[in-house]
Amino acid sequence: MALPIRELERSVCIGAEKARAETERVVRDSRANRPNMRTVCSVTFRAFGLKWLWASLVRNQNKLIGLYRAFDFNRCSAKELAEVVESLEQMLSKERDLLAKANALGAEVRGWWGDSLWQLAEQVEYLESIADSLRVASNDETSTLLALAAEQFVA
């Protein structure tokens, strides 16, 4: 089960890198002082290409979330959980950067991408909560303190 998760993480990272590179090109081209027809066509073409990349990234990330939700992390050691968290944090860092670059564009350009940006932002938040939970679970001291706090809260 760990192999498909790692492969999907890698796929999501690669997709995010491709989308980041294309987004940077669109941002750079859209800031041209005098947009000529070539620049307008280039931005339009790349924006439509990004629509496909965004949708692909959202689909792959949705599969990854499904695998994370189905996986039994109780079988993992604290070290393995820490490795998963580190991998997840690296991926999320790239995606936060990607979303920031995309949001730097005007609403007219972002509108071409439909709901993909919104879905990706929601998925990043969801994966951040998974990473936070796994980070707590990988730290025995924190897990113990949370269990004690929960017991006192219930009592």
The 3-class SS string of the chain reads: CHHHHHHHHHHHHHHHHHHHHHHHHHHHHHCCCCCCHHHHHHHHHHHHHHHHHHHHHHHHHHHHHHHHHHCCHHHCCHHHHHHHHHHHHHHHHHHHHHHHHHHCCCHHHHHHHCCHHHHHHHHHHHHHHHHHHHHHHHCHHHHHHHHHHHHHHHC
What per-residue confidence (pLDDT) applies to 123?
92
What the chain holds in terms of domains, given with CATH numbers, is: 2-154 (1.20.58)
- What's the confidence (pLDDT) of residue 73? 80
pLDDT > 90 fraction of the chain, expressed in percent and rounded: 5
Range of weakest confidence among 56-70, 124-138, 139-153: 139-153
| Higher-pLDDT residue of 127, 51 | 127
The answer on pLDDT for 138 being more than 80 is no
Confidence at residue 1, expressed as pLDDT on a 0 to 100 scale = 46
What separation, in Å, do the N-terminal and C-terminal C-alpha atoms of the chain show?
38
Question: In angstroms, rounded to a whole number, what is the distance separating the alpha carbons of residues 143 and 149?
Answer: 10
0.75 exceeded by the pTM? Answer: no
What are the pLDDT digits (tens) for 78-120?
788 888 888 889 888 888 888 888 877 777 667 777 688 888 8
- Which has the minimum average pLDDT: 34-38, 45-49, 55-59, 120-124? 34-38
Can you give the pLDDT at residue 5? 74
Helices and strands, counts by H and E, the chain: 6, 0
